[in-house]
């Protein structure tokens, strides 16, 4: 039948019934698509790739997998936690992917990066609109600069309710290079290497909220870093990172929970920091190109509880080439568990800080760092618009508490 005649006959059916329904691509052992790579090649906007229970090899490709607005592509485990991608240089790689929702999958024992998503070096066309939910990234089979989740040139990314365990000694849980307009929310990071979350290389407008960082590496959160000039997105960025928000998180251990490194206009607000190792905060400038890059400065540390013990070396470490005088410290509660005369040494005067007041955690031994109405942290925070909610999702009151937890109602 001539092609034009066939099209003429099909047009009434298309108009009557609308577009063809989205497909479910059954993938895995004994299914139509034996591998994720094969399913990704066949998927079109609106489809769901349903991964059946089992263990699968790494080195899967999502190359060019792109949904569309209103027609996301879903990659979902048939049973949460029963689909494992084990081994490979990377479990999955994806370049220029978009409108993709990934849920309920575990990734373990990769030798390069757990997952690697990028823009293929074409910075004008980032990967974008990607959601990770209820995923587990664990047990890197490497000791170098290897990341559980590597994102280079990825915008509008949401990583929520995911777990990151046992990272590489010199790697990150999440390493974001030139990423923008993204959210990391309600995730848990434990036993990391260099850091749990790193945002650098021109990254901006990223929010890390309501997460738990336990022994999460040398620097639990690295706000900025040190990036080769060829890898910045945008290419003309004059800062490692800007507009980063760290809200309502709990930090337990780590050499330093929060490091400001070549970043600007970023804020750490309403967090609880418990027994940091060497420092509570660091202010550093690792990219030494002073002709191009502004100094690390104009950042804020406010409404945080910092509870330290005898292992602390210095409250705030300040490196050369920074602008600590431009930082704002206010309404933080500082308490030393074994030294009643301890006073935090900060680079600038703090407004309305509380020193030597036990925050009276509910049960710190069980990682319950919430507070009761009798805590000195109750009602002592500076009223702010953001964050709106505490670590548990409870709304902060107008006269909000200091720390990650509003007083229980």
Domains along the chain with CATH numbers: 22-170 (2.160.20.10), 228-409 (no CATH)
Long-range contact list for 385-391, CB < 8 A, 24+ apart? 386/245, 386/247, 386/269, 387/209, 387/245, 387/247, 387/248, 387/269, 387/270, 389/210, 389/248, 390/210, 390/248, 390/270, 391/210, 391/248, 391/249, 391/250, 391/272
Residue 94, pLDDT score: 97
Residues 6 or more apart whose CB falls under 8 angstroms from that of 84 comprise 54, 55, 56, 105, 106, 107, 108
Cα–Cα distance measured from residue 59 to residue 56, given in angstroms and rounded to the nearest whole number: 10
> Which pLDDT score, from 0 to 100, does residue 20 have?
52
Which residues have C-beta within 8 Å of that of residue 24, sequence separation ≥ 6?
47, 48, 50
**pTM as predicted:** 0.94
User: What integer pLDDT is reported at residue 126 of this predicted model?
Assistant: 96
Q: From the first residue on, what is the mean pLDDT of each consecutive set of 10 residues in the chain (409 residues)?
A: 37 42 93 98 98 98 96 96 97 98 98 97 93 98 98 98 98 98 98 98 98 97 94 95 98 98 98 97 93 96 96 95 98 96 96 97 96 96 97 96 93
pLDDT at 288: 85
């Amino acid at each position: 039948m001539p092609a034009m005649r066939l099209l003429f006959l099909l047009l009434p059916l298309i108009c009557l019934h609308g577009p063809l329904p989205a497909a479910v691509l059954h993938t895995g052992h004994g299914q139509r698509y034996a591998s994720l790579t094969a399913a990704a090649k066949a998927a079109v906007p609106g489809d769901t790739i349903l991964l059946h229970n089992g263990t699968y090899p790494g080195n899967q490709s999502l190359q060019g997998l792109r949904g569309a607005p209103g027609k996301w592509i879903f990659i979902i485990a048939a049973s949460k936690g029963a689909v494992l991608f084990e081994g490979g240089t990377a479990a999955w790689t994806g370049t220029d992917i978009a409108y993709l929702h990934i849920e309920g999958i575990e990734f373990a024992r990769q030798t390069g990066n757990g997952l690697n998503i990028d823009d293929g070096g074409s910075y004008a066309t980032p990967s974008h609109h990607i959601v990770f939910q209820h995923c587990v990234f664990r047990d890197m089979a490497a000791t170098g600069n290897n990341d559980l989740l590597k994102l280079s040139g990825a915008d509008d990314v949401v990583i929520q309710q995911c777990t990151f365990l046992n990272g590489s000694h010199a790697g990150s849980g999440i390493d974001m290079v030139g990423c923008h307009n993204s959210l990391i929310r309600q995730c848990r990071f434990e036993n990391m290497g260099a850091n749990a979350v790193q945002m650098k290389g021109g990254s901006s407008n990223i929010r890390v909220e309501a997460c738990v960082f336990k022994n999460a590496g040398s620097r639990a959160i690295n706000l900025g870093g040190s990036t080769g000039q060829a890898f910045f997105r945008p290419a003309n960025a004059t800062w490692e990172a800007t507009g980063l928000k760290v809200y309502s998180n709990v930090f337990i251990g780590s050499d330093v929970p929060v490091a400001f490194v070549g970043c600007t206009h970023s804020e750490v607000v309403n967090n609880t920091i418990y027994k940091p190792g060497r420092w509570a905060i660091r202010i550093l400038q690792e990219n030494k190109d002073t002709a191009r890059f502004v100094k690390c400065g104009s950042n804020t540390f406010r409404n945080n509880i910092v509870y330290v013990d005898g292992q602390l070396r210095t409250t705030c470490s300040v490196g050369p080439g920074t602008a600590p005088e431009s930082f704002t410290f206010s309404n933080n509660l500082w308490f030393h568990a074994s030294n009643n005369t301890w006073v935090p040494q900060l680079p600038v005067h703090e407004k309305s800080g509380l020193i030597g007041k036990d925050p009276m955690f509910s049960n710190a031994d069980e990682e319950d760092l919430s507070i009761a109405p009798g805590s000195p942290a109750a009602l002592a925070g500076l009223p702010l618009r953001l964050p709106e909610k505490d670590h548990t999702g409870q709304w902060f009151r107008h006269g909000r508490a200091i720390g990650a937890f509003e007083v229980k109602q």
